[in-house]
């Protein structure tokens, strides 16, 4: 018989179990007469229990906040008697923005201009560089980076439809930006001088493995806020912005070989 650790369950299944467990705890507390009259004590116990179960299942921290607020939001919406069509509209909007975040555990993070300046400072100057932004969102890194380094080939890949469409609209006049919609793990990374990631802790080991397998010597992997577990970065850049951004910089394939000087010939000419 195959034993599966509850910690290894998919994020969506952990979320379902947390919510169902919260309902069971609230129901049991109500049946035992431990709660005062009214709906809100039941809702509060369910929310706290669901967040607690998510913590025990080692769900990502942001999932715990969702559990804590989910049932109160549902109860509040029901009390306001909101028309059903608004629920459908909200679901469609969130799906277009976050798309597969429930599976990948990578929410939508936006980089700021100060971060783009720091990344621009990492790019080589001896030839036009190339940058790949993993999960490029609305293009918040690539647009200022393309202005700072007009010689740079700036490329981004995003899976969620709404951020991708917005990024295409906002970058339509910047000809050194190329954007694609899809899975960045399914495309080659070998042609880039710098690969930028602002994701979450969850996919960073897989990002590191792919970077080690495909990046050429001298190429940089730069992770915004989330280091690769168990790997020491070459340097950590403190960005002077309001959120105290940290950029973890790695060279998965090592440094680029230094060209050897030309030796003099047999006749002693230099």
- Burial pattern 74-106, b for ≥16 Cβ within 10 A else e, equals ebeeeeeeeeeeeeeeeeeeeeebbbebeebbb
Q: What DSSP designation does 238 have? A: E
pLDDT by residue (tens digit) across 33-65?
A: 999 998 899 999 999 999 999 999 988 787 888
Euclidean distance between CA atoms 5 and 99, whole angstroms = 27
One digit per residue, the tens of pLDDT, for the chain of length 270 reads 445 566 667 777 888 999 999 999 999 999 999 999 988 999 999 999 999 999 999 887 878 888 999 899 888 888 888 777 776 777 676 665 655 655 555 667 889 999 999 999 999 999 999 999 999 999 999 999 999 999 999 999 998 888 999 999 999 999 999 999 999 999 999 999 999 999 988 889 999 999 999 999 999 999 999 999 999 999 999 999 988 999 999 999 888 877 666 554 544 444
pTM beyond cutoff 0.75: no
Residues 6+ away with beta carbon under 8 Å from 190 = 214, 215, 216
**Contact (CB, 8 A) for 159 and 182:** yes
**Contact (CB, 8 A) for 226 and 248:** yes
Residue 130 pairs in a beta bridge with 153
Mapped onto helix, strand or coil, the DSSP state of residue 237 is strand
Token readout for 172 is 């339509």
Residues 6+ away with beta carbon under 8 Å from 136 = 142, 156, 157, 158, 163, 164, 167, 179
pLDDT by residue (tens digit) across 94-130?
A: 665 655 655 555 667 889 999 999 999 999 999 999 9
Tokens 């923005």 sit at which residue? Answer: 97
């Amino acid at each position: 018989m195959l034993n599966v650790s509850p910690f290894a369950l998919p994020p969506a299944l952990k979320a379902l179990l947390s919510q169902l467990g919260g309902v069971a705890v609230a129901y049991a507390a109500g049946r035992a007469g431990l709660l005062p009259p009214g709906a809100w004590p039941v809702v509060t116990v369910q929310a706290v229990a669901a967040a607690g179960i998510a913590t025990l299942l080692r769900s990502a921290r942001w999932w715990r906040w969702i559990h804590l607020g989910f049932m109160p939001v549902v109860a509040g919406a029901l009390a306001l008697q909101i028309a059903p069509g608004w629920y459908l509209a909200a679901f469609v909007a969130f799906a277009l923005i976050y798309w597969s975040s429930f599976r990948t555990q990578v929410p939508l993070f936006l980089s700021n201009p100060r971060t783009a300046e720091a990344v621009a400072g990492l790019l080589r100057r001896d030839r036009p560089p190339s940058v790949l932004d993993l999960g490029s969102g609305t293009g918040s890194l690539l647009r200022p980076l393309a202005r700072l380094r007009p010689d740079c080939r700036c490329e981004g890949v995003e899976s969620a439809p709404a951020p991708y469409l917005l990024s295409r609209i906002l970058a339509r006049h910047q000809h050194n930006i190329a954007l694609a919609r899809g899975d960045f793990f399914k495309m080659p990374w070998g042609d880039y001088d710098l690969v930028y990631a602002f994701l979450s802790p969850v996919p960073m080991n897989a990002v590191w493995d792919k970077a080690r397998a495909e990046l050429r010597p001298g190429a940089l992997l730069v992770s915004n806020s989330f280091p690769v577990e168990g790997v020491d970065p070459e340097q950590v850049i403190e960005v002077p912005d309001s959120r105290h951004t940290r950029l973890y910089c790695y060279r998965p394939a090592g440094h680029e070989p230094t060209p050897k000087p030309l030796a003099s010939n047999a006749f002693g000419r230099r």
